[in-house]
Amino acid sequence: MEMAAIILKILLIILFMGLLVMTFLMFGAVACDLFKIIRNRKYGRKRKEEK
């Protein structure tokens, strides 16, 4: 019984860590997309002003 409990705890920790990593990756992807959009808008305005 004790071994099963230890294995379950380890699995729960691994799942929790996996979820944390996934959420961090999602936030990173969203941040990168927002950064690209902001940069594109700034460059777009500069290009329009030059024309």
Residue at 2 is within a domain: no
Burial 10-23 (b: 16+ CB within 10 A, else e): eeeeeeeeeeeeee
| pLDDT value at residue 31 | 93
Q: What is the pLDDT of residue 30?
A: 94
Which tokens hold the place of 26? 């999602």
pTM of the model: 0.54
Tell me, what's the pLDDT at 48?
A: 64
* 18 within a domain of the structure (yes/no): no
In tens, the pLDDT along 12-50 reads 999 999 999 999 999 999 999 999 998 888 877 766 666
Q: Which domain holds residue 34?
A: 23-50
In a domain, 16, yes or no: no
Total domains present in the chain: 1
| Rounded Cα gap, residues 11 and 1, in angstroms | 15
Residue 34 within any structural domain of the chain: yes
* pLDDT confidence of residue 50: 62
**What is the Cα–Cα distance from 12 to 21, expressed in whole angstroms?**
14
